[in-house]
């Protein structure tokens, strides 16, 4: 996995290539690709004067079109697309042709946005189309057939196809574009949005360049294949991109996705140090701060971003999070709404707004918000989970099963959904199903560490004596391994149960250890003492066992010898209804 393209050996060459592509993209007005490439180039050592790559070759055609091109480019930069296109018509050089088509495309997009505001009615809203797309497609496909398109032309053709919802054709064209001009990040990025799953990714053939590694790392992050993504990024850093803010931000996002909060936070802090005026990804950062309830940091971030640019979606989300943390949910909802006004397709804001409404106990509004989030992206597990929670609050455990199941489908290895499912089944008195859920939640790595206790309690309810003991033992072991002593209540119940259990099974040594531990907790102290008394009574009657009660607290003997730790394959959650 870590094997990178061999081209990474020659960073100078890569730097040269980046410099070239930056110039090319800038000439064509592809600013996002310029930004990406420049960011990378900045991370590499500067080239000495004599190593600088020569400017791209200047053809006869370019010379002819030069004046028209410079005029049009200035219009283009000033967002006067129609005007730019007008002066570029008839130009024959590749560069001018691309700019010509690109301005026509952008003009159409701009008009579409304007039209949407002006549309006649709600049902018509979605039907406003970029009128120029069809013409562009026709012209570009002619050129494409005649093989006259360069890498940029192919990219534009792909974009047009994607906008026309011809996704299959678009993917083919983008792949072709990456082969033709591998350095253009825009084409790769489009592919990231179009590739839906691993199989699809495997079936495609990409040019074997160093760009491919960046692409793969990016798409792994998108597809939640975090392990692979992190490996890729780590090896990229090792190769020499350690200063790249792009990579740092991607790693931070990846850690966020697997909920490794500490690492993600440290990455974000590093990012902020290197690039203090960055706004991108800061909403993710604020989510992390929120989860950790780091109020001062979040407040600082919010104020800082607000100073930089207060009319950015990310800024609004950060401020929303800030208010939410301060329990000012109305204001928080207001800021999320503002974020949505700035970009209605902003997925995170919808979900967060749903959360806020939930806090405000406005369930119907919350449901609406979550539904909107799902509308934007069907694969948003948080929205499904949120819907489930809403209905759970409305005391409809059966109804919310469906939503939790959807969330679980999207994140099969997330214990929170499984615990939620288990709780619902428990409420519906389907204890067997519930145990399956809890066990599975434990098997996939329980975040909140509640699954085992719940499982144990369920087994107690089912009147099984061994299973709860096993669960408690594993639970106690885990807690002590982590060294966290937060959930004392549950620990005391665990010890209490185990003490009784061992006492019943006549394992008095273990029982007394547990009873002693019970005495450490307020709520179980009395029971622990009485159990100790009972034990000594029984011992007094029976054989005098050589008990050394000064065992240090290691549960080694307890669990390894006497208690059969359940080694069960994670059960399939039988989905009773689809």
Partner 1 sequence: MASVHESLYFNPMMTNGVVHANVFGVKDWVTPYKITVLMLLDEMTISTSITLLDRRRLNKLILPLLQSPDMTLSQLIKTVEDSCPQLAYTVHLRLQLMADGELKDMEHFFDMLPSPFNETESEAHKTSVVGLFMRHMVLAYNKLSFSQVYKLYTALQQYYQSYERKDSPAAEPAEDTDMELTNTEELGGKMEKEELDLEPSDDEVSTRGPLSQKQAEYFLAQQAYLLKNDENKALDPAALQKELNNMLKFNPDFAEAHYLSYLNSMRVQDIFNSTDSLLHYFDRLILPGGDSKSNGDEGCGRSLRYAALNLAALHCRFGHYEQAELALQEAIRIAQESNDHVCLQHCLSWLYLLEQMKGSDSTLTEHAVKMAVHFCLPYLASLGIQSLVQQGAVGGKTANKLMDALKDTDLLHWKHSLSELIDISIAQKTAIWRMYGKSTMALQQAQVLLSMNSLEPVNLGVQQNNSEAFAVALCHLSELHAEQGLFAAASEILKHLRERFPPHSQHAKLWMLCDQKIQFDRAMNDGKYHMADSLVVGIAALSKTEGLYRKALVLKAQNQTTEAYKVLQRLLLYCEKIKGTEMTIRVMLSLAELHWSSSCHAVALPLLLRSLAVSREYHLQYLASECILHLAFSQLMLGIPEQALNILHMAIEPILAHGALLDKGRAMLLVAKCQIVTASSEPSKQQKTQALEVAVQNLEEAGTYFTKVDCKERVRDIYYLQARLYHSLGKTAERNKCAMLFRQHNQELPSQGVPLITRL
Task: Give me the residues that bind partner 1 (CB under 8 A), please.
Answer: 118, 120-127, 134-135, 138, 164, 166, 363-364, 367-368, 370-372, 375, 387, 394-399, 402-403, 428, 576-578
Helices within 146-209 (DSSP H only):
151-163, 167-180, 185-194, 198-203
Q: Which residues, other chains included, contact 475 with Cβ-Cβ below 8 Å and sequence gap of 6+?
A: 449, 452, 453, 456, 490, 494
| Cβ atoms 184, 177 nearer than 8 A | yes
Closest CA to 563 of 468, 488, 454, 438: 468
- Phi first, then psi, for residue 156 (nearest 5°) are -65, -40
Q: Read out DSSP for 324-370?
A: HHTT-HHHHHHHHHHHHHH-TT-HHHHHHHHHHHHHTT-HHHHHHHH
User: What span, in angstroms and rounded, lies between the C-alpha atoms of 211 and 150?
Assistant: 18
Nearer to partner 1, 172 or 297 (CB): 172
Question: What letter would DSSP give residue 569?
Answer: P
Nearer to partner 1, 135 or 484 (CB): 135
Report in angstroms how near the CB of residue 356 gets to partner 1 at its nearest.
18
Nearer to partner 1, 15 or 405 (CB): 405
Nearer to partner 1, 73 or 372 (CB): 372
Report in angstroms how near the CB of residue 355 gets to partner 1 at its nearest.
16
Report in angstroms how near the CB of residue 124 gets to partner 1 at its nearest.
4
Report in angstroms how near the CB of residue 120 gets to partner 1 at its nearest.
4
| Cβ atoms 93, 73 nearer than 8 A | no
Contacts 24+ apart (CB under 8 A), 31-40: 32/185, 32/186, 32/189, 33/184, 33/185, 33/186, 36/185, 36/246, 37/183, 37/185, 39/244, 39/245, 39/246, 40/241, 40/244, 40/246
User: What span, in angstroms and rounded, lies between the C-alpha atoms of 346 and 352?
Assistant: 11
Nearer to partner 1, 541 or 577 (CB): 577
Report in angstroms how near the CB of residue 330 gets to partner 1 at its nearest.
15
Nearer to partner 1, 364 or 522 (CB): 364
| Cβ atoms 160, 136 nearer than 8 A | yes
Report in angstroms how near the CB of residue 263 gets to partner 1 at its nearest.
36
Return the SS3 of 94.
Answer: helix
Report in angstroms how near the CB of residue 164 gets to partner 1 at its nearest.
8
Nearer to partner 1, 308 or 396 (CB): 396
Decide: residue 216, CB within 10 A, 0-12 exposed, 13-18 middle, 19+ buried: buried
Report in angstroms how near the CB of residue 328 gets to partner 1 at its nearest.
20
Report in angstroms how near the CB of residue 577 gets to partner 1 at its nearest.
5
Radius of gyration of the chain (CA): 30
Report in angstroms how near the CB of residue 104 gets to partner 1 at its nearest.
15
Nearer to partner 1, 187 or 340 (CB): 340
Nearer to partner 1, 123 or 549 (CB): 123
Q: Which two tokens stand for residue 262?
A: 């500490």
Nearer to partner 1, 140 or 514 (CB): 140
| Cβ atoms 442, 434 nearer than 8 A | no
């Amino acid at each position: 996995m870590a094997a990178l393209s061999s081209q990474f050996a020659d960073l100078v060459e890569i730097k040269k290539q980046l410099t070239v592509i930056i110039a090319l993209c800038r000439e064509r007005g592809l600013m996002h690709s310029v930004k990406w490439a420049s960011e990378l180039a900045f991370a590499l050592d500067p080239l000495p004067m004599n190593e600088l790559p020569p400017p791209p070759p200047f053809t006869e055609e370019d010379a002819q079109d030069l004046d028209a091109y410079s005029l049009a480019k200035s219009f283009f930069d000033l967002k006067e697309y129609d005007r730019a296109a007008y002066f570029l018509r008839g130009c024959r050089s590749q560069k001018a042709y691309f700019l010509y088509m690109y301005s026509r495309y952008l003009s159409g997009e701009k008009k579409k946005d304007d039209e949407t505001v002006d549309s006649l009615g709600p049902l018509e809203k979605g039907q406003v189309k970029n009128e120029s797309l069809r013409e562009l497609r026709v012209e570009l496909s002619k050129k494409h057939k005649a093989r006259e398109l360069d890498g940029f032309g192919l990219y534009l053709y792909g974009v047009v196809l994607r906008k026309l919802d011809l996704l299959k054709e678009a993917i083919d064209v983008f792949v072709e574009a990456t082969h033709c001009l591998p350095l253009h990040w825009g084409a790769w990025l489009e592919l990231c949005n179009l590739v839906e799953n691993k199989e699809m990714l495997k079936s495609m053939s990409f040019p074997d360049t160093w760009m491919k590694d960046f692409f793969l790392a990016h798409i792994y992050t998108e597809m939640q294949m975090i392990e692979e993504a992190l490996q890729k990024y780590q090896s990229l850093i090792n190769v020499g991109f350690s200063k790249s803010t792009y990579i740092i931000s991607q790693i931070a996002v990846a850690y966020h996705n697997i909920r490794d909060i500490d690492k993600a936070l440290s990455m974000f802090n590093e990012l902020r140090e290197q690039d203090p005026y960055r706004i991108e990804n800061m909403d993710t950062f604020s989510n992390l701060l929120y989860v950790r309830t780091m109020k001062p940091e979040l407040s600082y971030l919010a104020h800082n971003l607000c100073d930089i640019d207060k009319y950015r979606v990310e800024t609004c989300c950060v401020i929303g999070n800030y208010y939410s943390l301060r329990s000012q949910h109305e204001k928080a909802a207001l800021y999320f709404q503002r974020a949505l006004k700035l970009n209605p397709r902003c997925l995170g804001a919808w979900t967060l707004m749903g959360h806020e409404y939930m806090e405000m106990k406005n369930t119907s509004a919350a449901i609406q918000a979550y539904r909107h989030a799902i509308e934007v992206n069907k694969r948003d597990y948080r929205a499904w989970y949120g819907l489930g929670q809403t209905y759970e609050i409305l005391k409809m455990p059966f109804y919310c099963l469906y939503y939790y199941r959807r969330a679980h489908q999207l994140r099969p290895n997330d214990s929170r959904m499984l615990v939620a499912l288990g709780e619902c089944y428990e409420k519906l008195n389907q204890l067997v199903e519930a145990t399956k859920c809890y066990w599975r939640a434990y098997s996939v790595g329980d975040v909140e560490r509640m699954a085992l206790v719940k499982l144990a309690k369920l087994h107690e309810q089912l009147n099984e004596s061994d299973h709860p003991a096993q669960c408690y033992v594993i639970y106690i072991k885990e807690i002590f391994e982590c060294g966290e002593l937060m959930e004392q209540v549950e620990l005391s119940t665990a010890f209490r149960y185990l003490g009784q259990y061992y006492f019943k099974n006549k394992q008095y040594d273990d029982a007394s250890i547990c009873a002693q531990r019970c005495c450490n907790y307020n709520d179980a102290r009395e029971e622990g003492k009485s159990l100790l008394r009972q034990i000594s009574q029984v011992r007094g009657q029976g054989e005098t066992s050589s008990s050394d009660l000064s065992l240090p607290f290691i549960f080694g003997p307890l669990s390894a010898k006497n208690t059969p730790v359940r080694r069960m394959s994670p059960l399939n959650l039988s989905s009773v209804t689809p």
